Structure formats: C-alpha cells, structure tokens
Structure 1
Amino acid sequence: MAAVAPDPPTPPDPPPARGAAPTGAVPHDDPAHRLGLALVCAAAEPALSGVLLLDLDPRLVDPVARVFGAVLTGADEPARPPLVLGAADRDEDLWTRTRIRGGEHGITVRTGPGPLTEGDDADGAPPLVVVPDLARLSVAGMRAAVQLLGADVVTVERGGPRRTVRPRARWLAVCRSADVGRVSRHLLDRFALRLSVAGLRLPAPGGALQEPGAAEAREALLAGLADTRRPASGRGIGPVSVDDAAIGRARDLLGPDAGVRRELALLRLARTLAALDGAPSASAGHTDDAARLIGVSVPQSAPERAESDPEPPGTGPEPAGPPGTLPERHGTGGGGRPRTRDGARALRDTGPAEGIGTAPGAAPSPAAGSPYPEDEPAAVRDAVPLSGPRRRTTGPVSTRGTVIGTRRATDLRDIAHVRTVREAAVHQRARRTERFTVSPVDLHSNVRAAAPERVLVLLLDHTCRAGDGNWPEVLAPFLQWAYTSRATVQVIEVGAADAADELRAGSFTARGVLDPRVPAALHRRAGRATPLAHGVELAAQALRRLLRRQGTGPAEAWLVVVTDGRGNVPLRAGHTGRTDGEVAAAGVEDAVEAASRIGAMDRTRLHVAVVDPGREPYGDLPYVLADRLGAIVVDGRRGPGTEAAGG
C-alpha cells in the first residue's frame, strides 16, 4: 500500500488518506509488510482465496503457513494443521476418504468426504491448503485447485454419492519465478493474490530483521499485524462498491492484453483494501494501492505546472529555418540535418537503420518483482499439463494379462484355442466335411485383465499372533491404500493350522482386498511350524516377476511382513517338505538371507514394512529382518492409530 503523507510537526496526526493502508504507513518496499497485508486480505475476502508467493525461501514456507493459519482463526495458533499437497497426491486422496473396519462378518468399507471437501459447510475458520512447490504439484492437485479456487459451489461425485460443497479453504502456494512457465495458465489464473517475496526476512520483535527460519519470526509478524487482523468468517467483507474510476485505472495499469481474471483480481483486492480502510467504495487510489501491493508498477503522474511558472529552457518556439525546411528539434538524440528533396521541400534524415521482421533478438524479460513472470515469451510449457499419463492399451501389452474369459475374435492375435476347437466341433456334422474344419466364425480370443498398476504383497506369519492381536486394525492403512489404488493383492501365509503342508508356505492372488479370501486369511488359527524363510523366498520371487516386466510392471508395490522373526523351519525343509534332525537357528538365518535379496530390488517402486507384534523374548528379530529388507517397522500392538503406508 502507498505510504501516507509524513506526520506534521504538531499533533494530532492527520487521518490516513482515502486509499491508504488500514494500518497506517505500510512501506511497499518491505516484503514482510506486503506479505502480511496480503494474507489479511485473503483471509477477509473468499474471492482472494488463492495466494501465490514467488521465490519464497523454502525455510520460510512453514512459518508463513503458520502465520496464515493464525490470521484465518484470529488467534495466535491455527485451529488445525494445514493440508499439504505435493507430487504424490491422487484423486482418491483428495476428494474421498475410505475407512476400512474389521468385524465379525469381515471387512467393511465406507467412503466419506475427503480432506478437500470435509468441513467446508461447517462454521468456523476456513481450512488452509499449502503447496510448497506449485511446479511439482501432481495432476490431481492441479485439477483440484482449478475446480475449487474462486468457485462458489462445487458438485463432487468421485467413488461415492454426489455431494455439493461450498469451498471455503484458502490456498497458499509457493513457486520459483524460473519454474512458473511450466505451470498451466489455467492454474496460475486461479491465484488472485500473487506477489514476489524474494529475499524476504521476517521482522524480529525488536524491529530488526532476522535470518530466514528464525523461531521468533512468526510471533513478530503476528504482533505487527495486530491492528490489521479482522475476524475472518469466510463470508466476505461486506457491501463495498467499485466506482468507474477504479475500473478504468485497473485497465490502464494492467494493459489491454491482461485478461479479465487479472482485472477482476486487482479490483477485488482494491475493494478489500477499501473495506479494511472503512471506505464505502473503492476508488482509483485503492486500485493503485492494490497494484503496488502485488508488485505491479504504478506510473507517477507528472505534476501540473502553474501558469505563472516560467517555461523551461528549450521549450519555447524554435527559430524559423530557410524556406521549405522543417525546424530541427534539439535534445532528441537523432540530430538529423534537414536535407532538400523535390525542389525546395526538405525532409528529415531518419538516422541509423533498424532491422524489421522476425529476425532473432533478445526476448523481453519481465521486470524484477513482477507478479506475472509467465508472460515471458521463452517460457517452456507442457502440452497437456492437467492430464495424467497415458497408458498403452493395444498391441502386445494387451496379451500379457491374466485370462479372465473369451470373446469372438476380430483378428488372429491371442487366439483361445480350446474355446475355438469347441465351437468348431459343434458344427462339424452340419458342415459335412471329411476333415476337421475351423471356420472364421469359430475363432475366439482371450479376454485378459489389465496389468495392475499397484500391488500389495502380504506375508502373514500366523504363529506370531498374540492373544489380543487384531490384524485387520493393524493392517488397515495398507488395506485402505490397496482398496483406493485398485491394487492386486498377493497373500503369502506361514504357520497356519489348516495349511496343506505345515513345513511350506502357501500363497494366493486376489484381484483386490474385497476378495473373500483376504479377510479369511487375517483370522486363521496358528499352527506349530513357521516356514518363514520359505515365505520370504516366495515374496521375493513374486516381486521379481512383477518388477522385471518392461512396460507392464506396477508403478508402485508394497510388501508388508507380519512376523516376530522366529522361523523354526530351514529353507531346505521348505523346499523338500521334510526336516533333517535339529534345526536350531537355521530357520532364522535362512529368512534373513532371503530378505537380503528383497533389499537389493528397485526401491523407487517397492516399499517394505515389517509389522512387529512386540513379543518377548527375542524382540530384536523383527528389526534384524527389517534391516535386511530395507523396511520401516510398524508397532503391531497399536490399532487404528498406526501410520505407515503413505502410499
């Protein structure tokens, strides 16, 4: 905002001029004060719900987010932590929330509102969404921002019943000016408040500036905003009009090619500043203050010269030259002399020649601190920035999935030979041919399931089940990830009482967690033998088959091992089905050695977790196994509070 006039030498101080900042003098060259006032405006006006900070130091993202949350709640601490969006967020994580609960009849799945839609209709402070790097935001997060920012009502229908919400959340995004060109213009236009905060240092309580990341920075900035903070109910700032002069001034400042969204954003900011100033309407002065706040250059109008002032030198009438010549102007830098053409008619020399056309030249760059760095012509953009990656569905890839049925063939690829012969055999008598004949109408091809994008491998050691253990609750985060990701589930069971061979591990593959065999495997009775080494080997073989497929392998896989590490069956016994005398610690050593093969696999797609049931003695065995697997350890004695599968 523009600083008010200097205080007169005699009190009292004059009231702030119309269009001045509501907090008195707010210097526009101070990034901390500009940032604070911008956050106040975003909290007071829902139409300014998107705030984009350019070139913010990464260490200041958390302090600024805490300040914004405190401004929204009107207290020193935010009511709830913000929702942080990054490159790994999916539509299932944002719009819906799936809760899986185990009961006596199996697993119950319930779908409710997600973090972007829950609580939007409730009263209280608006929620806060933080994007630490807008250029690396996932496609799902970009689409959510485009749909929610600036919208009055949004209808959500994703994986559940249709729900109509009124978005109240405020978005705080951070991006480097060099990366803005990679972001979609549709997404950038949704952020009404955009300002450059390069070199921002938050003020200290004593008035001096501190280095980024100081602990007292947030409290100091809140203290500095004590006079400007208003109760933020999220319902708007009240009836404040915008006069024609403010609209015309916005068009003059932004230029004819700015677009409607930029003009609306500037006018809404000017209206908010007028409301905070107590003015009944926004004037051209408020538009200038809004432009200075976000970093748009405001030209200074030339002072009017009084009639009695003498004319500056060089502005008086020029002496007449020879007949037929144009007067020579002084101070223009051209200095061209008059020359005669067509008799007595003289023309001015045009000076040095300048190139025209499409010759390469230096591209104009935006001014330093400009809120619109994407206007640079040399910016590189994605072709379809709001679209997800395409998957290949035709060609040889379509012949590698699991066969789930047959259909009448349209070509000679992937023929179902058994079904084709059966169809041909039915019509042999009617055809009355001496040899067995196959007609084109008899041809059938296989119907295959698509290759899974995500896989969950469960290794369940039933002999480690404690008397009060509840596996459905412990494994709920992983099962929820598999359900929302439509992941294929492979279950490897060790030490079950009803196993076909108690010295060997058993396994089965399910298309999803809703397969009845999955909840049944979580409630089996414990047996006597624990062929843990054989189970780890089966898990390694399954993961190796999945990850080595080029082009059809899963994009992400989880291996969850539920065991206490006490394997009393060596790997050789698991292969042969019989034991040779005493085993001692051979079963544990074989399991650890088999686990080291999994630890060397592709860790960009494979995540491993070991669920520790917390049994004594030998409570360190799960940690030894997790160290060889390269896995995280989850406390199996806790229930729904377990947090492990970040998906």
Structure 2
Amino acid sequence: MCAAAEPALSGVLLLDLDPRLVEPVARLFGAVLAGADEPARPPLVLGAADRDEDLWTRTRIRGGEHGITVVTEPGPLAEGDGADGAPPLVVVPDLARLSVAGMRAAVQLLGADLVTVERGGPRRTVRPRARWLAVCRGADAGRVSRHLLDRFALRLPMAGLRLPGPGAALAEPGAGQAGEAEQALLAGLPAAWRSAARRGVRPVPVGDAAIARAQELLGPGTGVRRELALLRLARTLAALDGRPSASAEHSDAAARLIGVAVPESAPDRPEGHPEPLDPAPGPTGPPGTLPERRGAGADSRPRARDGGRGLLDTGPAEGIGTAPGAAPSPAVGNPYPEDEPAAVRDAVPLSGPRRRTTGPGSTRGTVIGTRRATDLRDIAHVRSVREAAVHQRARRTERFTVSPVDLHSNVRAAAPERVLVLLLDHTCRAGAGPWPEVLAPFLQWAYTSRAAVQVIEVGAADAADELRAGSFTARGVLDPRVPAALHRRAGRATPLAHGVELAAQALRRLFRRQGTGPAEAWLVVVTDGRGNVPLRVSHTGRPAGEVAATGVEDAVAAAARIGAMDRTRLHVAVVDPGREPYGDLPYVLADRLGAIVVDGGRGSGAEVAGG
C-alpha cells in the first residue's frame, strides 16, 4: 500500500518468499495499484534472458511488396509514462538471476524522477511510474550488486508468509475465487488507505526527532540511501494516518515494518546488577553440568560427571580439508542480508561480458576498410603499396621504397555473435501465407540482435542451376538481397536435400570457429518437404532417371546431421505451408531436425514437433 501511494517507494524487495506465492502476491499488488475501479494491468516479468533491445525499444518489422520496413517504438520500460491510468508493475521472480540489462534498468529507473532513453533511435525523456516487485533468497543476496539492492526502499522478510483460508485461492492461477479473495483482502484495509493508493499521498514534513530516531535504529555507517528509504516510509505512514508530520513513532513503525530491530525501553536496574546474558529462565543442573537443552529430541537428563569435571559439548562438526563449505546463511528477519558474510560477488555485476578484440581473433572477419598500421599484423598490402607509390618521386630513391608511414592494416567487421540461417523452398508458395509476415518474428530477432543472415534458396525460377541450391551471406536483414529472396517466383525443381546439406555445412563452419563462434543461431526452414531432386543429382548436375521418393529420403537423412548438433546454441524451426496431400512431410523433417513447427498457412501458432 505504501509503494502504491508513494512513487519514491517504487521498489519492493521480498526476501525468502515461497516461489509458489510469487504469482498471487504479484496479482494482489497489481490489484492494489489498479484499485477497484479498473482492471489490473498484466505485469512485465523480467528474467535472465532479457536484453536492452527488449526493454527500452520495440522493433516492428513490416514486409511489403517493395521490401522490409523497420519501425522503432518505445519498449515496455519507456512507454506508458503518462499520468493517466494505474502505474505499471514490473515483477522479478529471482533478483539474483536477473540479466545484466534488467539490473541496469532497475538501477536507472528506481527512485529517479526523469530518465533520458536513447537506444538506437530518437531520444526520449520518460518519467518512471512503474512499481518493481522483486523476490530474492536471503542466501543469494550477497551475489547481487549493492547498488541494485539499495534501490529497493522496502525490504520485507517473507519467510513465513502463508495464504490460508480464502486467500489460498490466490495460489492457484486461474482459480474462480481468486478475484473474490483479492477483493476481500483489499476490503479489509481502511478506506482512506485504499483512496490514497489510487490518488497518491501529499508528502508531509519529517521532524528532527524522526531523523534522529532513524539514524539511531540503522546505526552508523549504513549509508544515506537506507536512511532516506526508512524516512520516506515513515513519512508515507504518517500521511496515511492523516498526521501533519512524521515523528519518531513513525520511524519505529517503519523499522518494524521492514524488519529492523527496534529496542524497547528496558526497566531501570540497580547499579551493579547488569542484565544477564541469557534472560530466558530455565532450570539449572548441579554444579559441573550443562544446562538443559530444549530442542526436539534433546535429553533432559544432566550429563554424567567425569572426575568432578563437566563434559564439554563438542559443538557443530567442521569439515576437514580445503574444500569450500556452505555459505553462511544471513540472520532470519534481517532486511539487509547483503551485510552478512556471503558468497563471492561478481567483480563488475552490472557490466556485460566483454568481447575479445585483440589477438588472432582480430584478423578474422570481412575486410570493410583500412587504417594506418600500428604493428605488422594483418597488413593491407595493396593499400600500403598505393600509399608508397604516391611519395616515390618526393623521396628520390632509385628503388621502390615502402616507408613505415605507408603501412596500412585491414579493418575487419567483428565476428557475428548471432546468426540466422534461412532455408527457403520457393516451390511451396502455393497456398502458403505471406512469407514476410510468417518470418517476421525471426527477422525481428535478427535485426535487434544485429545477427548475420545466410539465405539458402531452393527451387527459384531464376536460379543459376535449378538442380542445385543457391546461397548468399548478408551482414543483416536490411541487406537488399534478403527482401528480394522473400518474393522470388517458384521454379520447377526442388533440390531440398542439397539445401539442407548446405545449411548443415554452414552451421558446422560457424560452430567450429575457435573462440569466435556464434553464441546463438537460428535455422528456419520454409518448405512443404517435397524434394524431387536427389542429392546425387545435385552433386553431379546430371539427371539419373526415375526419382520417386529419393529426394525426400535424402533430405530427411541430411536433416539428421543437423539434429545432432549443439542444441544449447542452435534453435531450429520449420514453417509448414499446410499443403495437401502429404501434409506430414514437414513434421517428419522437423522430427529429424529437432525443430518446432510453425503454421505458415495462417501465420500463427506453433507446436513442438514430435510432441
């Protein structure tokens, strides 16, 4: 309720929440943000696979007869910043496994008044209104950047949270009573609080007593952000209660809410009688014995005596050797588990992985220009000789001389980190949907990830050799040859087996590059599976009599080689145009490829081949 009413408390961190309760708690938080007058907005869920291109910008690719049109729009974190409607909700189910892009976005947006976004398009200034609900295990908090944790003003230990009774319906997604349970929980709050959550609260001043009390509760050296978070929460509680200003009692209430220990005033004790270390009462045994243990299964009898000397407890067992033990768990109920000794932190947790730009890998790639050389590696010989020829008359030498100032080196394009391989069977166009619309998700992925594109064409009317597949490599989807390949006329022959073989060879070359291979690759095959050119005919270029089903069998055999490749980096999809008869051939091919099947006849829906 405080986070909904006060934008300065936009970050809520739930510690040790049961993973099964993430969805119902997020749904309840969304209902609080929306109020009773309007439906809750679907939350934006961030995880380990989110990238900057997915959060700040949204790319729309529209295909037409004259080519591909790319439109850049604000992404989910940069749109909806107007003052109308309920604030959007961002849910992070596991903060320790959030992607680097998501961490940077949280650091930039949480607690900020205005943010300027400039990501591959026009500059845009937004006013963040989103509320962030993150979940993290206390044992994993030591791995998260302190800069990120400090952005979450509200820390709530949730280790013992349960939803009994009507609220248990919240734990069942899609349950019919979930809405009633949410309304019941909201109805239990004061009417003034529900109204303040929808309209917001007017900030009230914070007294000196509240500031001093907050500093006393947090202790010295805790940082300004924690003090500001506690005082903002105290100010919000005072505003919800209708108080003119925040006092020390509100600081105590805010500290209890987030789990900070609030010392109670102890009764005066006579001088010389300090408080005992263990105030819990308990019977004591005879001299030389240990006190009674109250744990489950503990023996209540006193320990035996050994020569008048009590037997000392051995304590917990300790490992022997140099193997690392389990990381110590933070104290239960501690809202700042990152202060406890925990696992080793990342050196630069908010920085992405760096690409290698020196060494032998820098001499690979397509030459895109030249520059003045700083060493003798990868010399551009033609450019260096031309530069030396210009100065030969001024140097007045008898022999052709190349000076060090004449040397130029090649400038090469970086090796692509992502690759899209398109296998287009032009003879299956009849009855299929528009190819640009069907392939739009894959082209959008290639555009946003700056992926290189390799197009393999089968059965084009203007092919140089109709018995063989043709191919070309482009630096991106904006290459004019890519949209041209999506609109070619169909020919007669379908050397599908040769096209699958070329795709397997291209992927094998990519993944064999030591140190510079792609991190991710997609193979998209658009075909009806009807290959009428055997692989041997494609190799020799001479027809060999009756074909029958040899072309289909060769294509399936070649697809099996792709299905055995590294599936951690390679994803495969088969677009089925839905032609009859023999409509099962694309599924047979997808089964050997280990691919998903996309319905290309209507341009929607996907299913995993083979169940």
Q: TM-score, normalised by structure 1?
A: 0.80
Residue of 390, 404, 408 corresponding to 1:444? 408
Pick closer, same or farther for the CA change 1:474–1:378 going to 2, 3 Å: closer
Residue of 588, 613, 625 corresponding to 2:552? 588
1:198 and 2:159 matched: yes
Residue of 544, 562, 568 corresponding to 1:598? 562
Equivalent in the alignment of 1:461: 425
1:284 and 2:227 matched: no
Contact 1:204 1:217 in 2 (8 A): no
* Structure 1 residue 268 displacement after superposition: 1.6
What are the within-5 Å matches in structure 2 for residues 404-415 of structure 1? Answer: 404-415=368-379
* Structure 1 residue 210 displacement after superposition: 8.5
CA distance in 1, matches of 2:36, 2:593: 46
CA distance in 1, matches of 2:406, 2:215: 72
CA distance in 2, matches of 1:425, 1:280: 84
Equivalent in the alignment of 2:46: 85
Equivalent in the alignment of 2:80: 119
Equivalent in the alignment of 1:386: 350
Q: 1:479-523 CA distances to partner (integer Å, 9 max, x unpaired)?
A: 111111111111100110000001100000111111110110000
* Structure 1 residue 433 displacement after superposition: 7.1
Pick closer, same or farther for the CA change 1:611–1:75 going to 2, 3 Å: farther
Contact 1:73 1:232 in 2 (8 A): no
What are the within-5 Å matches in structure 2 for residues 137-152 of structure 1? Answer: 137-152=98-113
Pick closer, same or farther for the CA change 1:330–1:260 going to 2, 3 Å: closer
Flag structure 1 segments of 5+ consecutive residues without an equivalent: 1-39, 306-311, 317-327, 334-362
Equivalent in the alignment of 2:145: 184
Q: 1:385-411 CA distances to partner (integer Å, 9 max, x unpaired)?
A: 111111111121110111223334332
Equivalent in the alignment of 2:126: 165
Equivalent in the alignment of 2:264: 300
| Equivalent position amino acid for 1:630 in 2 | G
Pick closer, same or farther for the CA change 1:329–1:239 going to 2, 3 Å: closer
Flag structure 2 segments of 5+ consecutive residues without an equivalent: 278-326
What are the within-5 Å matches in structure 2 for residues 34-183 of structure 1? Answer: 40-75=1-36, 78-183=39-144
Equivalent in the alignment of 1:566: 530
Pick closer, same or farther for the CA change 1:573–1:232 going to 2, 3 Å: farther
Q: Matched residue of 1:180: which SS? A: helix
CA distance in 1, matches of 2:429, 2:81: 42
CA distance in 1, matches of 2:340, 2:22: 26
Pick closer, same or farther for the CA change 1:332–1:78 going to 2, 3 Å: closer
Equivalent in the alignment of 2:209: 245
1:367 and 2:331 matched: yes
Pick closer, same or farther for the CA change 1:597–1:582 going to 2, 3 Å: same
CA distance in 1, matches of 2:504, 2:384: 37
1:613 and 2:577 matched: yes
* Structure 1 residue 537 displacement after superposition: 0.7
Q: Matched residue of 2:232: which SS? A: helix
Pick closer, same or farther for the CA change 1:468–1:395 going to 2, 3 Å: closer
Q: Single out whichever of 442-451 and 223-232 deviates more from structure 2.
A: 223-232
Bigger Rg over Cα? 1
Pick closer, same or farther for the CA change 1:594–1:291 going to 2, 3 Å: same
Contact 2:62 2:70 in 1 (8 A): yes
CA distance in 2, matches of 1:591, 1:494: 12
Q: Single out whichever of 228-237 and 528-537 deviates more from structure 2.
A: 228-237
CA distance in 2, matches of 1:396, 1:531: 38
Pick closer, same or farther for the CA change 1:578–1:296 going to 2, 3 Å: same
Matched residue count: 554
Pick closer, same or farther for the CA change 1:565–1:240 going to 2, 3 Å: same
| Equivalent position amino acid for 1:81 in 2 | P
CA distance in 2, matches of 1:546, 1:631: 19
* Structure 1 residue 618 displacement after superposition: 1.3
Q: Single out whichever of 427-436 and 481-490 deviates more from structure 2.
A: 427-436
* Structure 1 residue 253 displacement after superposition: 1.3
CA distance in 2, matches of 1:463, 1:105: 21
Contact 2:34 2:41 in 1 (8 A): no
Contact 2:34 2:198 in 1 (8 A): no
Contact 2:431 2:578 in 1 (8 A): no
* Structure 1 residue 233 displacement after superposition: 6.6
* Structure 1 residue 240 displacement after superposition: 2.6
| Equivalent position amino acid for 1:138 in 2 | S
Q: Matched residue of 2:574: which SS? A: strand
Contact 2:504 2:561 in 1 (8 A): yes
CA distance in 2, matches of 1:517, 1:283: 70
Q: Single out whichever of 235-244 and 492-501 deviates more from structure 2.
A: 235-244
Pick closer, same or farther for the CA change 1:431–1:298 going to 2, 3 Å: closer
* Structure 1 residue 280 displacement after superposition: 2.7
Pick closer, same or farther for the CA change 1:285–1:444 going to 2, 3 Å: closer
Q: Matched residue of 1:281: which SS? A: coil
Q: Matched residue of 1:588: which SS? A: helix
* Structure 1 residue 204 displacement after superposition: 1.4
Q: 1:411-440 CA distances to partner (integer Å, 9 max, x unpaired)?
A: 221123344455566777887877765544
Q: TM-score, normalised by structure 2?
A: 0.85
Contact 2:431 2:579 in 1 (8 A): no
Residue of 507, 526, 530 corresponding to 2:490? 526
CA distance in 1, matches of 2:468, 2:198: 62
Q: Matched residue of 1:241: which SS? A: coil
1:557 and 2:518 matched: no
Q: Matched residue of 1:242: which SS? A: coil
1:630 and 2:591 matched: no
Q: Matched residue of 1:262: which SS? A: helix
Contact 2:365 2:412 in 1 (8 A): yes
Pick closer, same or farther for the CA change 1:162–1:232 going to 2, 3 Å: farther
Identity between Structure 1 and Structure 2 (%):
86
Q: 1:227-259 CA distances to partner (integer Å, 9 max, x unpaired)?
A: 326146776312433222222221121112222
